């Protein structure tokens, strides 16, 4: 079993990931550094997409049918400070649900691989 698959299962699969995503967006929407990116966003749909994407990124089933990372962030001109804020909120959301620091770092290392596809688009 791959490390990612183990991580997906370890985190509690979709049920727990959906809770993490809800908490994550609570943090994001309370943060003036990044909440403006979501002003005109259907948050219910966004939460569903994000839960599927994170599940897939952590080795779960590929149910993500959204646009590529570059297309999804096109025209947003996301800067490193924004990306870093989102990563911090994901860290804090995972920690809130009792995920170990080692597992959080493993998850965040996967998110980090998306940096170049998201920044400055």
Binding site for heme: which residues?
A: 49, 73
**Residue 2: what are its φ and ψ, rounded to 5°?**
-70, 160
Annotated binding site: 49, 73
In three-state secondary structure terms, 78 is strand
Q: In the 8-state DSSP scheme, what is residue 119? A: B
Distance between CA atoms of 66 and 74, rounded to whole angstroms? 13
Per DSSP, helices labelled H in 1-120 are: 3-10, 13-29, 43-57, 69-72, 80-96, 101-112, 115-118
């Amino acid at each position: 079993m791959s490390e990612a698959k183990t991580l997906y299962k370890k985190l509690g699969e979709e049920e727990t990931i959906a809770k993490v995503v809800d908490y994550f967006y609570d943090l994001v929407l309370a943060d003036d550094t990044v909440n403006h990116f979501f002003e005109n966003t259907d948050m219910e749909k966004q939460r569903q997409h994000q839960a599927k994407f994170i599940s897939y990124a952590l080795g779960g089933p590929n149910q993500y049918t959204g646009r590529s990372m570059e297309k999804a962030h096109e025209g947003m001109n996301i800067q490193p400070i924004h990306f870093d804020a989102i990563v911090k909120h994901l860290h804090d959301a995972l920690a809130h649900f009792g995920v170990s620091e080692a597992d959080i770092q493993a998850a965040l290392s996967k998110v980090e691989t998306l940096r170049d596809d998201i920044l400055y688009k």
